[in-house]
Amino acid sequence: MTDQAMATAQRRNGVDGLAPLARRAERVVLPLGALATGLALFGLLLLALGKSPVEFYALVYKAGFGTAFSWANTLSRAAPLLFAALCVALPARLGLVVIGGEGAIVLGGTATGALGVWLGGVPPALALPLMAAAGAAVGALWIGAVGALRHYRGVNETIASLLMAYIGIALMNHLIEGPLRDPASLNKPSTVPLPDALRVGDIPGLDVHWGLVVALVCCVLSWVLIERTTWGFAARIAGDNVRAAQVQGLPVGRLILGFTALGGAFAGLAGFFEVAAVQGSANASLAAGYGYTGILIAFLARQNPLAVIPVALLLAGFEASSGLVQRRMDLPDATILVLKAVVFVVILVSDTLYGRFRLFAPERWRRS
Amino acid sequence: MTDLGLWAVPVAILGGAIRVSTPFLFVSLGEVLTERAGRINLGLEGTLVFGAMAGYAVAYESGSAWAGVLAAALAGVIFGLLHGLICSLPKVNDIAIGIALMLLGTGLAFFFGTPYVQPVAPRLPAIDLGFWSGIPQVQAALTVNVLFLVGIALALGMAWMLRATRIGLILRVVGDSTDAARAMGLRPNAIRIAATATGGAFAGVAGAYLSLFYPGAWSQGISSGQGLMAVALVIFARWNPLNCVWAALLFGGAGALGPALQSVGLSDGYYLYYAAPYVLTLGVLIATSSPNRATAGAPGELSITK
């Protein structure tokens, strides 16, 4: 935008209070439109297969959001998804596409399970924070290493993080089938179950564990970090233009290390809550794909930690409904995966529409 | 059966390298083609999985393994076209599109592949190059699939094409500078779409190899990230098709390490050997990347090295 155009736009803002609203609306209307288009496209696929899209979405609504029970199910699944999405959204503000949160989740969970066995006699008030810190630290190291490789060696962070996710899952399998295996776990290799005292409980009155509250707090804190602190401001500058940030003397290296490590710590916390609140021990269920759904959530939320909250709830509802739609409509188990992928593609395609509509650009309202 | 003792390990790794390397070779050749034109397609992993399913399904329904390979290649073209067309829109991030198409290819393959998990499709033929040896392990190691040889021929052909033909020159110009290509009167987007579609076909064939030869059955766990590793391998191979052959063999050998050690009774730490190809890929990426200078041999328009 030229200075002149900017000045004109500012003058108009004074006259017309709708202008700032219109500018913000673009970032809400376009993703919502893309989401609706994606759902409609998936509906067409169902129609082509002779299934009813109306029945499908009605079932998704019923199983994901229809009853108190389904809300509890959805909210429980939302916690790891929120953490996983933050693991994508924070590095994304620096222009990094980190997609290996799954590795930090499984290793954070494994660390939690291993430490929990060790801390059996320690009072829970001390042991639980230690376990959470261990999970977060392992996650921070894992994704922070991706940031370090990017900064010091110029290694592409997208490929490196996904490779490290594979390595992390292999490492977890090695540990839970070997050194950390509970001999009593026959069919499903696991670590020794955590003692009841070291389990994270439910929020009073809800059938949802405390991980949800912590995840929501982390989302808000991340938003404050990005939008309201100098660190976040510096990160956004570096994300827009690394060279300009370096010329300005911004500590790009420390920002990359800090943001990737923080994202990884959140993913590690997801692993902590999966083990301490849901599974009760570290096992292969940790690799449930939360890390990959988190990528979609972060992109749908346009990497905004607050927008991540409603999007994660929506996606958690989709996942919660997966079993019911498969059984009722006789659909394959990959149905929700295809739905997510279609929505993902449409969301990314919608990137091309930003700035195309006069409606969202007040400075162009009165031309033509 | 002759007991080879510990010699069984290198023999099994050699055989495994040849067997396991073929999908790496095809995907990396496809990615070389795409990246030489200036785009990166991270979605080849999804194309590979979908190609594996499509190839298996068509081979089963038609009774011909080669019909399956053809179907897989066609499916790959469709995914490549989709990637190419979407990335031609302004402001769309090719890396993110790749991730989305990775999910879409995998998801659609699982979605439509459920009925084909049980049936047995015809396998691709293999050529017995180990006939001279009396040792069964050596014979097994040198049972080479036709597609491996096709892949080597493709690598040679591509190297020649890039170096000495008009098409090769056009690809390289488009990959190195969009502006120079426009100045020459070329249409960069059309050429990139064509290169991505062809690269997709290669990845589809790689998938068909997985489901129709080795391991030789369709299942949801058929790919363990070969499509993604092949993308990293292209950086290691410096965008040179001939280097892709050596790199693919190296990665194939790493992938065969776990099963080879298991065959002589070393099963401790199986999962760690299973991680060997990923560790190797990461190590190679670290060794070949550099924070300061553009990677030697990299096409100028590639977003991954900018």
Q: What is the pLDDT along chain A (368 residues), one digit of tens a residue?
A: 456 655 555 555 554 678 888 888 888 899 999 999 999 999 999 999 999 999 999 999 999 999 999 999 999 999 999 999 999 999 999 999 999 999 999 999 999 999 998 888 889 899 999 999 999 999 999 999 999 999 999 898 999 999 999 999 999 999 998 888 988 888 888 999 999 889 998 988 888 999 999 999 999 999 999 999 999 999 999 988 888 888 888 999 999 999 999 999 999 999 999 999 999 999 999 999 999 999 999 999 999 999 999 999 999 999 999 999 999 999 998 999 999 999 999 999 998 998 888 888 877 776 55
CA distance B218 to chain A (A): 15
Q: Which domain holds residue A100?
A: 80-325
- Domain assignment present for B196: yes
Mutation to test the A interface, candidates B233, B270, B278, B286, most A Cβ within 10 Å: B278
Per-residue model confidence (pLDDT) at position B127: 85
- Domain assignment present for B119: yes
Task: Identify whether the C-beta of residue B111 lies closer than 8 Å to the C-beta of residue A46.
Answer: no
N-to-C CA span, chain A: 18
- Domain assignment present for B303: no
Domain count, chain B: 1
Task: Identify whether the C-beta of residue A89 lies closer than 8 Å to the C-beta of residue A305.
Answer: yes
Chain A residues within an 8 Å CB radius of B224: 166
- Output the domain CATH number for residue A101: 1.10.3470
Q: Report the chain B residue with the minimal C-alpha distance to residue A299.
A: B96
Domain count, chain A: 1
How many CB pairs below 8 Å do chains A and B form together?
A: 138
**Complex ipTM more than 0.95, yes or no:** no
Compute, in degrees rounded to 10, the torsion defined by CA atoms B52, B56, B57, B60. Answer: 180
CB spacing of A153 vs B272 below 8 angstroms: no
Q: Cβ of A302 under 8 Å from any chain B Cβ?
A: no
Confidence band of B306 (pLDDT split at 50, 70, 90): very low
- Domain assignment present for A349: no
Task: Identify whether the C-beta of residue A84 lies closer than 8 Å to the C-beta of residue A297.
Answer: yes
SS3 of A169, please? helix
Give the H or E element holding residue B144.
Answer: strand B143-145
Please list, in sequence order, all residues whose beta carbon lies within 8 angstroms of the beta carbon of residue A73, skipping any fewer than 6 positions away. A63, A64, A320
- Output the domain CATH number for residue B254: 1.10.3470
Mutation to test the B interface, candidates A49, A337, A353, most B Cβ within 10 Å: A337
- Domain assignment present for B101: yes
- Say what the pTM is: 0.91
- Domain assignment present for B297: no
Task: Summarize pLDDT for B186-245 with one digit per residue, the tens.
Answer: 999 999 999 999 999 999 999 999 999 988 999 998 988 888 888 888 988 989 999 999
Please list, in sequence order, all residues whose beta carbon lies within 8 angstroms of the beta carbon of residue B217, skipping any fewer than 6 positions away. B56, B120, B211
> In whole angstroms, what is the distance from residue A13 CA to residue B202 CA?
54
Nearest alpha-carbon partner for B274 in A170, A184, A109: A170
Task: Summarize pLDDT for B56-70 with one digit per residue, the tens.
Answer: 999 999 999 999 999
Chain B residues within an 8 Å CB radius of A344: 99-100, 103-104
- Domain assignment present for B132: no
Q: Which domain holds residue B82?
A: 5-125+138-288
Q: How far is CA A123 from CA A197, A203, A244, in A?
A: 8, 21, 51
> In whole angstroms, what is the distance from residue A98 CA to residue A146 CA?
8
